[in-house]
Amino acid sequence: MLPSSRAPIVTQLVVYKVGSADETFGRTGIAHFLEHMMFKGTATIGPGAFSRTIQRNGGRDNAYTDFDATGYYQTIAPDRLELVMRLEADRMAGLRIVEKELVPEREVVLEERRMRIDNVPAALLDEAVRAALFGEHRPYGMPTAGYVDDVKKLGVEDLDAFYRRFYAPDNAVLIVAGDTTPDAVHALAEKHYGPVPGRGIPARQRPSDGGPSLPQRLSRADRRVAEPGWSRDYLAPSYRTGETRHAYALQVLAQLFGGGETSRLWRTLVADRRLALSARADYSASSLGLSSFGINVHPAPGHAFGEIESAVADQMKKVLDGEVTAEDVERVQNRLLAAAIYAQDSLGSGPRRYAAALSTGNSVEDVEAWPRRISAVQVADVVAAARHVWREDRAVTSLLTPEERQ
């Protein structure tokens, strides 16, 4: 429960500890497909009526699927919180998956993939990068949207079995944020979720190593590409897997190296040398298995990938050689802490922070301790994290080009 009286609204988020990384090859896309089918009715409410009921009561709802979790959320007036709890508990236990609803929804799922991946060259290249980095046909190496041939084969029995295996209160976390009280939330949760039986969910497993053929270089040439791109992705530990002691320092490193216009990459490649139109680095520690540390640069017209790679390597060497100051680290820490404070004010991003942690084995205490742990990162920790992750034998370099530049 995350109380806030800033506005007379509440958000309910139910996140299940299951995502696309819990699928097997040949059955990919099932977690995302099931997310869609969760809106197709139960024994007590008809297809599409869930969202229509929320809308008629002045609220909005949606859902998401990622590699480790699937979440369903509604934002509504506080006096309608019981309504959304009743609806959510109903489909937690009583979803009906029927052929009549599944067949047309499959086309919706496939169309989403066409729009977001098949028609986006960068997304297609990203799929190939993940398969190389984490291992083809392995968790995190298979797309959340699923492979087209797999989605086309999924039937009622496949989705129903997945639902009955993973969708239960003992595999879910309830987060409520907004203008209500813990006592009120607890009473409503006991009333509506309390009677739903658990299923005895087994512990999830993730590989502790990456793809078998690293390092790799990949490229994709496509006439739809407007801006060429150079990227490098490294295997990295998370809060839960690998050398986890580096997780907090890697968050500082990502911001320091490529986290906006004050970062090393942006200042050097974009502002000073004009080699690039943009440059960034990204890393997330909230993964049940291994994570990745990514560097992405869009070269400026007239500058080749070789120039970019050399310039990035030069900046990496400066970090590895210890050219990082305490002032650099403190500035990044302040930015990270400020962003966390702003996130707490949001009824969207605030609950999602807790959902990401609680669905991957971390605790509320871990979320609350995050500012203190980020503040404790020292220069030596940042350099040690860089040395651990920035290894050529654990990386995939990828190039995205217009077709004529192949």
Per-residue pLDDT reduced to its tens digit, 9-47: 999 999 999 999 999 999 999 999 999 999 999 999 999
Nearest to 354 by CA among 63, 262, 363, 303: 363
Average pLDDT, rounded, for the chain: 96
Over the stretch 54-66, which tens digit does the pLDDT of each residue have? 999 999 999 999 9
State the Cα angle at 190 between 188 and 192, rounded to 5°: 65
Joined together, the tokens standing for residue 49 give 């009526």
How far apart are alpha carbons 181 and 3 in whole angstroms? 6
Decide: 174 and 189 in contact? Cβ < 8 Å: yes
Residues involved in catalysis: 35
Residue written as tokens 């190593």?
Answer: 209
CB 248 within 8 A of CB 236: no
Banded pLDDT at 321 (limits 50, 70, 90) = very high
pLDDT value, residue 381: 98
Instruction: Give all strands (DSSP E) within 214-339, no chain letters.
Output: 216-221, 229-236, 276-283, 291-299
| pLDDT score at 170 | 96
- Across the range 166-186, mean pLDDT stands at 97
C-alpha angle 10-15-16 in degrees, rounded to nearest 5: 155
Q: For the residues of 59-112, what is the DSSP string, one character each?
A: -EEEEEE-SS-EEEEEEE-GGGHHHHHHHHHHHHHHB---HHHHHHHHHHHHHH
| Residue 405 clears pLDDT 70, i.e. is over it | no
Which pLDDT band holds residue 117 (cuts at 50, 70, 90)?
very high
The residues pairing with 276 across neighbouring beta strands, listed in sequence order, are 299
Is the distance from CB of 255 to CB of 314 less than 8 angstroms?
A: no
Q: Find the mean pLDDT for residues 247-274.
A: 97
In sequence order, what are the residues at sequence separation of 6 or more whose Cβ sits closer than 8 angstroms to the Cβ of residue 201?
A: 17, 165, 166, 168, 170, 171
Query: Residue 341 pLDDT more than 50?
Result: yes
Question: Which pLDDT score, from 0 to 100, does residue 406 have?
Answer: 45
Q: Which segments of the chain belong to CATH 3.30.830.10?
A: 2-192, 216-405
Q: Which CATH number fits domain 2-192: 3.40.630.30, 3.40.50.410, 3.30.830.10, 3.30.365.10?
A: 3.30.830.10
**Average pLDDT score over residue span 110-130:** 97
Q: Check whether 183 has a pLDDT greater than 80.
A: yes
SS3 annotation, the chain: CEECCCCCCEEEEEEECCCHHHCCCCCCCHHHHHHHHCCCCECCCCCCHHHHHHHHCCCEEEEEECCCCEEEEEEECHHHHHHHHHHHHHHHHHECCCHHHHHHHHHHHHHHHHHHHHCCHHHHHHHHHHHHHHCCCCCCCCCCCCCHHHHHHCCHHHHHHHHHHHCCHHHEEEEEEECCCHHHHHHHHHHHCCCCCCCCCCCCCCCCCCCCCCCEEEEEECCCCCCCEEEEEEEECCCCCCCHHHHHHHHHHHHHHHCCCCCHHHHHHHHHCCCEEEEEEEECCCCCCCEEEEEEEEECCCCCHHHHHHHHHHHHHHHHCCCCCHHHHHHHHHHHHHHHHHHHCCCCHHHHHHHHHHCCCCCHHHHHHHHHHHHCCCHHHHHHHHHHHCCHHHEEEEEEECHHHC
Helix (H, G, I), strand (E, B) or coil at 208: coil
CATH superfamily of 216-405: Metalloenzyme, LuxS/M16 peptidase-like (3.30.830.10)
- Contact call for residues 40 and 96 (beta carbons, < 8 A): yes
- What is the CB-side half-sphere exposure of residue 339 using CA atoms within 13 A? 15
* Residues above pLDDT 90, as percent of the chain: 94
> Is the full-model pTM beyond 0.85?
yes
Provide the pLDDT for residue 31: 98
Residue 404 pLDDT greater than 80, yes or no = no
